[in-house]
Amino acid sequence: LDLNFHCPALRSAEVSVPLNLQSLTLKRTIIVANDVCYKVESKSQRIKSILDGRKHVCVEILKIHDSNVIPDSLKISTKILDSGDLHLEEVLPFINEASFPLRKLRANIAKTPNLKKYLRCTQKLILFETNYNEEQEDLVRSILYDRKCPNVVLESIGLSSNTVVTLIQNWKDNRKKDGTVLTMQNGFRFLPIVALNFDEFLYIDELREVLDGRTAYLNNSVLQNNMDRRCISFPFNQTCKVVLYNIRDEPSGNLTTKLEVMPIGSIGEGPLFDFLTFWETFRAFPILSQILIIVSFLMLIFILLLLFCISFKFILLAGNLSKNKMDRRCASFPINQTSELVLYRIRDRPIWNKRIKLEVMPIGSTGPPTLFDIFIDLLILLCYK
């Protein structure tokens, strides 16, 4: 800096080079450049304080919340533009023409009612709203249905099932290519298999019924971080399908839902049982419901074990035949209409040696176990396992 101050030639060369920044946010009272906040009281000097005599700015991410601080002669080159709550016509004159089409453009649909004329200005259009109403809902639909529409991200803007059905049909008519995607952030929460509430279940069920959708799983070739393998696929054409899937934002747990045109090979039937999917679904239920599910599951296991013990494990000798040192547990094999072959044990006390006997006994010598016997056998079985 000291060298530049004493050498006018170097200073002139420095001024001719554009100011390169990663991010730049222009607000009414402050300027944030590369996460460094500059507060300048003089409105006329606010932007000049960071330009330092330069006439051009190159910035990756540009956010303009107040266009009055930008000199009329300044042109900014950017890839990602956020126009905040300003009309796009107030912002675009300051953008270098070489920047178009932008990689991303974020705009408030309430502030730019003629947004459709700017669809070719960007590869991805991010829409948000401050006071969503029917008029803006109509504008969103007209943008989504426009054949020139780029990939769209909706922030906190929900769509009805009818709109989604019409949109997919619109994609078919316009022969949208693989990679066409609609992203819905925080405005469309659902789980493709088990819905969180009744309304969402009706929403998903209606989409499946009208569009012939089916539950599927994303293949490993397309899976990325935090993507839910479960999805719903809809027929599209001979080479592609439309896929509805979720991306979970960690650690907040918010869901981003995407509707995307994918090659047919991107999805499959999936595993018979996906433990991670089951766990995510289980966590979505309230605590009381989780406790009831666990208790019901344990009771089911207990009943199945009891049935196993009664049907396959033990048949007990009748009380009138059970003598000292004889184990009431036995195995019975039918012989004829009047007799059965019984295999049982005898324990010698106090050394507890075991003797095994195979004996022909009359029918009726064996019978079902008591509840106490079942309980003891269950404990033995659990300990053995």
Most confident of 22-26, 194-198, 348-352: 22-26
pLDDT at 103: 95
pLDDT of residue 348: 67
Residue 320 has pLDDT above 70, yes or no: no
For the stretch 201-204, contacts whose Cβ atoms lie closer than 8 Å and that sit 24 or more positions apart, written own/partner, are 203/161, 204/232
Q: What is the rounded CA–CA span in Å between residue 350 and residue 353?
A: 8
Residue 220: pLDDT band (50, 70, 90) is confident
**For residue 311, what is the DSSP state?**
I
In terms of pLDDT, which residue wins out, 195 or 340?
A: 340
Q: What is the CA radius of gyration of the chain?
A: 36
- Measure the CA–CA gap between 194 and 170, rounded to whole angstroms: 28
Nearest 5 degrees, angle CA 203-CA 204-CA 210? 90
Closest CA to 53 of 4, 102, 94, 91: 4
Question: Can you give the pLDDT at residue 193?
Answer: 37
Strands 254-263 and 366-367: unpaired
Give the mean model confidence (pLDDT) for residues 132-140: 81
pLDDT at position 1 is: 40
Residues in a beta bridge with 130: none
Q: Express each pLDDT in 281-303 by its tens digit.
A: 666 677 887 888 888 888 888 88
Q: Summarize pLDDT for 117-126 with one digit per residue, the tens.
A: 999 999 999 9
What mean pLDDT do residues 356-361 have? 86
171-187 pLDDT per residue, tens: 999 999 999 999 988 65
**What number of helices (H) and strands (E) belong to the chain?**
10, 19
More confident residue, 145 or 374: 145
Nearest to 232 by CA among 270, 198, 197: 270
- Residue in 69, 74, 82, 76 with CA at minimum distance from that of residue 40: 69
Other beta carbons less than 10 A from residue 357's beta carbon: 11
Q: Which range among 80-84, 158-162, 224-228, 304-308 shows the weakest confidence by mean pLDDT? A: 304-308
Q: What is the pTM of this model?
A: 0.65
Q: Which residues contact 375 (CB under 8 A, 6 or more apart)?
A: none
